[in-house]
Amino acid sequence: MPAELLLRRGLVDDVGDRHRRVALRPLAGRDEARLADRDDALVAQSDEDAVHEVLATCVERLGGYRDVTPVHVAALSRGDRQRLALALRALMIGDQLVLTLRCPRPDCGELADLELRVSALLDEGSTDAPAEPEWWTVDTPAGKLRLRTPTGADDEALAALAGSPAERAAAFWNRLIDADWAALDTTSRQLLARTLAGSGSLPDLTFASPCPACRALLELELNPFDLLVRELALGTDRLLAEVHCLAFHYGWSEDAILGLPRARRWRYLELLRQQLDGRPLV
């Protein structure tokens, strides 16, 4: 059964209706293999198109949309895309998440484990919470200004922008507000930036844990895309072994095996193990 997720902002269609309820399906083997092949681009998030393609592959339904494309995913906010990546990670690998941190102090370097649960990270989006506003109205010295959260399409545009950092920042902010960023005073800019930072549109993915040796504070900011791709890439050798074993015993083609989701492949492998051990299959 596909996993269900309630997005904070969701997809806003042409008539202003919200589409927030998402049904996810696990990636097939060929999708896992493609992720492993493209992990460098995805982890760096320099290829926003690739991120949106992967997320669209796992979305079975988005509100009233059943044929979800990368364009639909690109219209989602940063926070909602992060929630999709976390939910897909839980669906593919499991709810428990153990991260290892290294103490940054040069005279220590001790390792510490941080145990999390994806369900806790997604708790804010799993209930019938009210939808995040499409626009916020901010009172500034320049007057009342409207502000919205960045979407994937905005991030795609930012990646393609040329020019100095200040020019790129101004062009990016001009996509999010109904004013000319370069013409705004410093106070107005700060109010807009603070409103966006405090909007709660992004899940809280910053964690701290004390070093077990020197008690220094270890900090980590979790990148959901990095996490998903790296963990799936670690299973590349296992995926090849699964293809080899199922092809050898069943005579299936590589393409047919890679078309199966991970849970179905593992179930067939478990049946094979039971049979080879001489145990009942049921």
Q: In the chain, what are the domain boundaries?
A: 3-128+203-233, 136-197, 237-276
Residue pLDDT, tens place only, 54-103 = 889 889 999 999 999 999 999 999 999 999 999 998 988 889 988 888 89
User: Which residues in the chain belong to E strands, given as ranges?
Assistant: 3-12, 18-24, 59-62, 96-102, 111-117, 136-140, 143-147, 206-210, 217-221
What was the pLDDT predicted at 127?
55
Residue pLDDT, tens place only, 109-131 = 888 888 899 988 886 544 566 78
Which is it for strands 59-62 and 18-24: parallel, antiparallel or unpaired? Answer: antiparallel
Residue pLDDT, tens place only, 223-263 = 888 888 777 777 778 888 999 999 999 999 999 999 988 88
Residue pLDDT, tens place only, 15-54 = 889 999 999 998 888 888 877 665 454 444 446 777 888 8
DSSP bridge partners of 3: 24
What was the pLDDT predicted at 67?
93
Of 8, 28, 37, which is closest to residue 242 (Cα–Cα)? 28
Distance CA 175, CA 34 (A): 32
| Predicted model pTM | 0.82
